[in-house]
Amino acid sequence: MAMAMAALRREGRRFAPMISPRPITALRSSPLAPSLEDECPIGVRYISTQVVRNRMKSVKNIQKITKAMKMVAASKLRAIQTKAENSRGLWQPFTALLGDLPSANVKKNVVVTISSDKGLCGGINSTSVKISKGLHKLNSGPEKETKYVILGEKAKAQLVRDSKKDIELIITELQKNPLNYTQVSVLADEILKNVEYDALRIVFNKFHSVVSFVPTVSTVLSPEIVEREAESGGKLGDLDSYEVEGGETKGEILQNLAEFQFSCVMFNAVLENACSEQGARMSAMDSSSRNAGDMLDRLTLTYNRTRQASITTELIEIISGASALEG
Amino acid sequence: MASNAAVPFWRAAGMTYITYSNICANLVRNCLKEPYKTDALSREKVHFSISKWTDGKPEKPSFCSVFIRSLHLPDMVANL
């Protein structure tokens, strides 16, 4: 009997070192030792499972919330995805006509960074900001300058920290109403009016699929630069072979085209970024639910072990008390 | 309707092509019949908050909640 009791006691002691190094039990005291936090009355030795139970309840709530957020993001994604795919047809003729020249060497660069207003969407905003800063570095040098136009709160928070002097405009609260072309074109108009530019580089996350968002840069050149590049040949050199109808000159047409191109490219960029934001939020919330589920499993194991250990301890006390009475 | 002047009238008035095409679109949307008209006009809502920064300091942000209707241009054109 004594050997059995000693074995059981050893079992009880074995639980303590097994449980305390576990990362999830950030509970400073292991559940086996009744501490001041447990508030047990003097003379009673029981093991409280309250701490573990509270933690399990909160983790379960978090899991429910993240699952719901994933559903919401999925439905919003469905709504906006058709819009984004339809808007791709707006800028493709421009690229066919004018080409996309990211390597154009210009004096005044303006980087338009598109990001989201709300958080919990994974790493897409950080990648956009990283690319914007990279573009800034790439295009800085003698006689060249780069300015930022920021759309969205998340990029604003990151860029305000170290690039304050280079910011021209900050635009937020873009997604209050569902995105439409009129809104983005008014926005593009504001940018064109307030910012001097030779080349506009728009940084956004292109939506390839629900799991893949590729950061892309679209370049829109000002009409003067288009003329300059046309002289050096290439795609733009063929512009003269087009006939111009109506009473407008080539310079005027180029200006109209440049403005409209900027507006179309912005529209597509904003929509694609919104899709990427919802997709990223879906996958972030999904992994968060899964992590919460794992955490819940581990906590359940701890809870059961604690419960069994407390039952074992009570049994030991009863048996040893009874055997002490017997003699 | 294309003028033979050196610049079209709207360019001379200081408008960009974007503003010009938005006003034209608004006029076309107003020509629709109900219920398509309300659907189309709901696609015209504009709201954002823009703040200009100079020398690393923000100026007071201004809201742009403008409908093109507020420019009263459709009435002007109807009276031509």
**Chain-chain contact of B46 with A165 (C-beta, under 8 angstroms):** no
Complex ipTM > 0.95: no
Contacts by residues A92-96 (CB-CB < 8 Å, ≥ 24 positions apart): A94/A257, A94/A261, A94/A264, A94/A265
Residues from chain B contacting residue A176 (CB–CB below 8 Å) = 47-48
Q: In this predicted model, which residue has the larger pLDDT, A65 or B78?
A: A65
Whole-angstrom distance, CA of residue A131 vs CA of residue A166: 15
Best probe of the B interface among A148, A149, A186, by most B CBs < 10 A, is: A186
Residue A108 has a pLDDT of 85
Q: Other CB atoms closer than 10 Å to residue A320's CB: what's the count?
A: 15
Give the pLDDT score at A33. 45
Q: State the pLDDT at residue B70.
A: 43
The pLDDT value recorded for residue A142 is: 77
Residues of B in contact with A169 (CB under 8 A): 50-53
**Quick one: tokens of B42?**
């709901």
Rounded Cα gap, residues A21 and A302, in angstroms? 12
Q: Into how many domains does chain B fold?
A: 1
Give pLDDT tens digits for A252-271.
788 888 889 899 999 999 99
Joined tokens for residue A323 = 């055997």
C-alpha distance from B9 to closest chain A C-alpha (Å): 12
Q: CA A234 to CA A218: how far, in whole Å? A: 18
Strands A167-172 and A199-209: unpaired
User: Residue B47's domain spans which residues?
Assistant: 2-79
CB of A245 closer than 8 Å to CB of A93: no
**pLDDT, position B15:** 85
> For residue range A197-208, what is the model confidence (pLDDT) as tens digits?
888 899 999 999
* pLDDT for residue B3 is more than 60: no
Under-70 pLDDT residues of chain A: 1-47, 232-240, 246-248
Burial A67-97 (b: 16+ CB within 10 A, else e): bebbeebbebbeebbebbeebeebbeebeee
Provide the pLDDT for residue A233: 62
Q: Residue A51 corresponds to which tokens in the numbers above? A: 């701490």
Confidence check: pLDDT of B13 > 60: yes
